[in-house]
Amino acid sequence: MHKISELKGNNEAVFRDIFNEYQYPLYKFLYQKIDSEFYAKEVVQLTFIKLWKYRQHLDPDLDVSIQLFRIARTTLIDEIRKLQTRQRHYQAFQPVGNTADDTMHLVSYKETKARLFRLINMLPPKRREVFKLSRIHCHTNNEIASMLSISPKTVENHLTHALRFIKPFFTLLIIFS
């Protein structure tokens, strides 16, 4: 609990001590959850970045280990969600089928993708930026809001309008392709 006060006082030496003490236990905890050395290391790093970034919001009445593992768990969940979103978007843009006409599918896929990006480029600049950050770069609404200094509700509105614009044209493009 003393460590939390020191962290809030911007004591980098205490932060290094916490890092050295908890780096491996966090890694072990995360590796057991996801069985991936890469993601376990990534989430450990993100956890300590968040610990330092949000140190002013830590509860001085809770032990640092409890708060650190809580940050790690929520960061892991966020990263898993991002990964799942990326995989869904990736799969949506993949050509289908393993038939003799794979080349036709690939050409069709590339044409459809190009048409989709032309539609995205027709969006107003801010809406286009929000859409790309969400659907292409897989950021959450809250992350986008933070990046662009707008509210999450504004992000949601931009996405809703973008999808309303793209969907009818995109559907017609696919039907008449």
Q: Look over the chain and give the mean of its residue pLDDT values, rounded to a whole number.
A: 83
- If asked whether residues 18 and 74 sit together in one domain, one would say yes
Are 112 and 170 members of one domain?
Answer: yes
Q: In this structure, what CATH number is given to the domain that contains residue 135?
A: 1.10.10.10
Between 78 and 86, residue with greater pLDDT = 78
pLDDT band at 120 (very low <50, low <70, confident <90, very high): confident
User: Comparing C-alpha atoms, which of 110, 116, 94 is closest to residue 163?
Assistant: 116
pLDDT for position 177: 45
Same domain membership, residue 19 and residue 67: yes
Residues in the chain, how many? 177
Average pLDDT over residues 89-107: 58
CATH number of domain containing 10: 1.10.1740.10
pLDDT at 121 (0 to 100): 87
Q: Pick from 132, 135, 127: which is nearest to 155 by CA?
A: 127
Please state the domain count of the chain.
2
Assess whether 79 and 143 both reside in one domain: no
Where among 87, 112, 143 does a domain terminate? 87
The residue from 87, 117, 144 where one domain ends is 87
Mean pLDDT score, 55-61: 90
- Domain range for 77 is 2-87
Tell me if 96 is assigned to some domain: no
Examine the fold and report which residue of 56, 87, 118 is the final residue of a domain before the chain moves on. Answer: 87
In this prediction the pTM is 0.52
Residue 33 clears pLDDT 70, i.e. is over it? yes
Band (pLDDT 50/70/90 cuts) for residue 105 is low
Q: Are residues 33 and 81 in the same domain?
A: yes
Instruction: Please tell me whether residues 115 and 169 are part of one structural domain.
Output: yes
